[in-house]
């Protein structure tokens, strides 16, 4: 009887062990599934991130549109071209004409101020030894300019005015044109004088500047009206 009982107990023991083995296998599969599910979830999550990224990208694309437009607007603002009137005037005649041109063209004004102002003795053309006589006899003289430098950025047209001295532009105009780059700028010389025309003074300045699109320019009357200035500008081209 004892033997029978031992056999029955042994049989249950074997069955019990086999059952545990199956359970472990099942657990193992289930663990593999979790790993697989986890990977899928990760993939999904990665896809979600990717979608979010896409959506972020889409959003950034959308938000970048107005930025691009405003950047474009800033660029077009900064490249808007204006007009500048540059002048030197020893006794005020050219200054008056320059102000008239600036008024008609809504331009900015820039005065070339000599570091050493010209006295009436300096301007005495009857004296061969006056400062102006000496300067005009030496084409290499470059009188110093006291005015702050002007940026030519944003200007597409520059009028350059001066009095005629001994048939030419004062040497301080040479100082000015040699100090700047006039690329992409239309330069229009104008002068005042007792009676002489502009002659070759504009061409001489053009050669010294060596940049810019220079028009031949004209002598303008000291008392020129704004409507006459407008007519002159209309006839320039
Ligand atoms: C040194 C000097 C030389 C001049 N040479 C001439 C000249 O060759 N031809 C002329 O018609 N006027 C000549 N002028 C007169 C000036 O060109 C004229 O008065 C001019 O309008 C003065 O301009 P501003 O007042 O802007 O300096 C000369 C004036 C000076 C002071």
* pLDDT tens for each residue of 194-223: 999 999 999 999 999 999 999 999 999 999
* pLDDT reported for residue 69: 37
Check pLDDT > 60 for residue 118.
yes
List residues bridging with 109 in a β-sheet. 85
Which numbered atom of ligand 1 lies nearest the CA of 193? 17
Domain ranges of the chain: 31-80, 82-235
Tokens 């030197």 found at? 88
**Dihedral sign, Cα of residue 54, residue 60, residue 62, residue 64:** negative
Dump pLDDT digits (tens) for 133-144: 999 999 999 999
* pLDDT reported for residue 81: 72
* pLDDT reported for residue 80: 56
Q: Is the CB of 201 under 6 A from ligand 1?
A: no
Mutation probe of ligand 1 site: the residue of 163, 172, 221 with most atoms within 8 A of C-beta? 163
Judge: domain 82-235, CATH 3.40.50.360: yes
Tell me the percentage of the chain whose pLDDT exceeds 70: 66
Cα separation of 215 and 187, whole Å?
A: 6
Cα separation of 101 and 86, whole Å?
A: 10
Check pLDDT > 70 for residue 125.
yes
Separation of CA 235 and ligand 1 centre (Å): 25
* pLDDT reported for residue 47: 37
DSSP characters over 103-161: HHHT-EEEE--BSSPPPTTTT-TT-TTSHHHHHHH-TT--PPB-SPP---TTEEEEEEE
Cα separation of 189 and 86, whole Å?
A: 9
Quick check: 161 and 97 in contact, CB under 8 A?
Answer: yes
Mutation probe of ligand 1 site: the residue of 166, 194, 199, 204 with most atoms within 8 A of C-beta? 194
Which numbered atom of ligand 1 lies nearest the CA of 196? 11
* pLDDT reported for residue 185: 98
Going by alpha carbons, the residue nearest to atom 22 of ligand 1 is 163
Which numbered atom of ligand 1 lies nearest the CA of 90? 27
């Amino acid at each position: 009887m004892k033997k029978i009982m031992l056999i029955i107990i042994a049989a249950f023991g074997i069955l019990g062990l086999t059952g545990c083995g199956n359970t472990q296998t099942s657990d193992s599969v289930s663990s593999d599934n979790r790993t697989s599910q986890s990977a899928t979830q990760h993939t999904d999550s990665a896809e979600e991130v990717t979608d979010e990224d896409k959506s972020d990208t889409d959003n950034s694309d959308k938000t970048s549109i107005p930025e691009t437009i405003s950047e474009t607007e800033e660029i077009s603002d900064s490249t808007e071209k204006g007009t500048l009137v540059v002048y030197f005037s020893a006794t005020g005649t050219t200054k008056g004409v320059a102000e008239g041109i600036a008024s008609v063209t809504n331009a900015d004004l820039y005065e070339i101020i000599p570091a050493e102002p010209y006295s009436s003795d300096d301007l005495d053309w009857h004296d061969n030894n006056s400062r102006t006589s000496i300067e005009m006899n030496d084409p290499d003289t470059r009188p110093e300019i006291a005015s702050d430098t002007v940026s030519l950025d944003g200007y597409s047209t520059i009028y350059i005015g001066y009095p005629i001295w001994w048939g030419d532009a004062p040497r301080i105009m040479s100082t000015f044109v040699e100090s700047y780059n006039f690329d992409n700028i239309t330069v229009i010389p104008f002068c005042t004088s007792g009676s002489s025309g502009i002659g070759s003074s504009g061409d001489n300045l053009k050669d010294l500047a060596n940049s810019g699109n220079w028009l031949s320019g004209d002598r303008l009357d000291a008392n020129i009206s704004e409507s006459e200035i407008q007519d002159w500008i209309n006839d320039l081209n």
